Amino acid sequence: MGITEILFWILAVASIGSALMVVTSKNPIFSVIWLIVTFFTISGHYILLNAQFLAVVNIIVYAGAIMVLFLFVIMLMNLDKNTEVQKGRWMRLIGAVAGGCLLLVLVAGLRSTEARATQLGTGDIGLIQNLGRVLFTEYVVPFELSSVLFLTAMVGAVVIGKRDQTGRAAVATAAATTAGTLEAE
């Protein structure tokens, strides 16, 4: 077992553990922080798979922009107290059992798939040189459409968040600013 396999197992355990902590944390702030940890471990997986561009974009966009937006909204709404009313014990149990059944079905269905190897650590398709060339030749129309999508999201966030000409539009403005930053990226 080489160093990459050991790293894979460490990252896999860390990502599943932190994903479980996202679901089980009572405080939404802790959920956000554990989700950031999950995103960092997933970025670690991307680096192991030699997809460096996606690893960096994952950290910048998800951990950097989206999660900050979540934290911002939670703090603006004073949700950082343990005020969440839990679902009943039976509802939680049923939810967990339903998810467990899905896990069981998917694992049982895919258990006997053909054992094909992925390539860890080598190969340069994940570098920005290759991805950028393909993105600006074959995928240039979806790329431009995504900028229109961002503009729509920015306008939509402002329109939804605006309240009858008075203040309180701070969150919507923050959302719009984040969308604008992402578009600039």
Partner 1 sequence: MDIRYYIFLSIALFVTGIIGVLTRRNAIVIFMCIELMLNAVNLLLVAFSKMHYKALAATNPTAGTDGQLFVFFIMVVAAAEVSVGLAIIVMLYRNTRSVDINFLNRLKH
> Within positions 34 to 93, which residues make up the interface with partner 1, using CB under 8 A?
35, 38-39, 42, 45-46, 49-51, 53-54, 57-58, 61-62, 65-66, 69-70, 73-74, 76-77, 79, 84-87, 91-92
The minimum distance between CB 182 and partner 1, in angstroms, equals 5
Amino acid identity of residue 131, one-letter, is: L
- Give how many residues touch partner 1 by CB under 8 A: 91
- Picking from 13, 57, 54, 5, the residue whose alpha carbon sits closest to that of residue 37 is 13
**Is residue 126 a contact point for partner 1 (CB under 8 A)?**
yes
**String marking each residue 140-169 x if it binds partner 1 according to CB under 8 A:** --x---x--xx-xxx-xxx-xx-x----x-
**Is residue 128 a contact point for partner 1 (CB under 8 A)?**
no
- Neighbouring residues of 7: CB distance < 8 A, sequence distance ≥ 6: 44, 48
Asked if 73 and 28 touch (Cβ cutoff 8 Å), the reply is no
Asked if 4 and 120 touch (Cβ cutoff 8 Å), the reply is yes
Measured CA distances, 49 to 1, 43, 105, 125 (Å): 16, 10, 27, 10
Amino acid identity of residue 96, one-letter, is: A
Q: Which is nearer to partner 1, 113 or 165 (CB)?
A: 113
Identified binder of partner 1 from the candidate list 3, 90, 113, 141, rule CB under 8 A:
113
Identified binder of partner 1 from the candidate list 10, 75, 95, 144, rule CB under 8 A:
95
